[in-house]
Copies of this chain bind each other. A is one copy, B any other.
């Protein structure tokens, strides 16, 4: 038996085509809030230029090409749509509900990424690519609101547990900046003294001899993160 699928298949034919596979990315960066000036969570979205959901905002994404691993596809897509190179990239989840898209069956393998503020400032922004505050997104295309919610949950989880916060920051940072990352992501206030005691007790934080000058107060010491992010189980792109 020979089964034939075409890219311009009608609905009846699509019933038998394999589900199509897409890669999307939730990209987080810290940017100063317009109101308070404190850092808050933002993410870039792209406007859909075709049906379904034409005109609505959606997560950046695209197809998986033949020669690249899932992770490579995610970081290529991220670069192509926003010009960004992430400092952290991890698989979030494979979404495969039957009715995610009204026109065809799509399985989306979603990654989430963190970018540093210097990177984020360089990001391309245009009519069809814009940054939004993570807590003020409005209604997105497909199930993308749910996906962002889940990515936020994972980010908060990972922050509470591990050593993810430093990927929002540059190579050198003050402990107050680390605290601001936690405060922005978890949306709470933290006691500065207790917070620094905890952070300093983790072995992956290294004191440098440098201080950050220029504030109108006692200059804070600069630190460095020496840990490596845990490798994903599947990212062996070039064997």
Contacts and interface: CB of A to CB of B under 8 A. Distances in A.
Contact of A98 (B18, B68, B99): B68
Nearest to A3: B7
Q: How many copies does the complex hold?
A: 2
A195 interface: no
Interface string A55-92: 00000000010111110000000000000000000010
Given A21-B21, A236-B97, A237-B98, A6 B16 contact: no
A94 B70 contact: yes
Contacts of A91: 93-94
B105 A107 contact: no
A105 B66 contact: yes
Interface in A86-128: 91, 93-99, 105, 107, 109
Interface in A1-30: 1-8, 15-16, 18-21
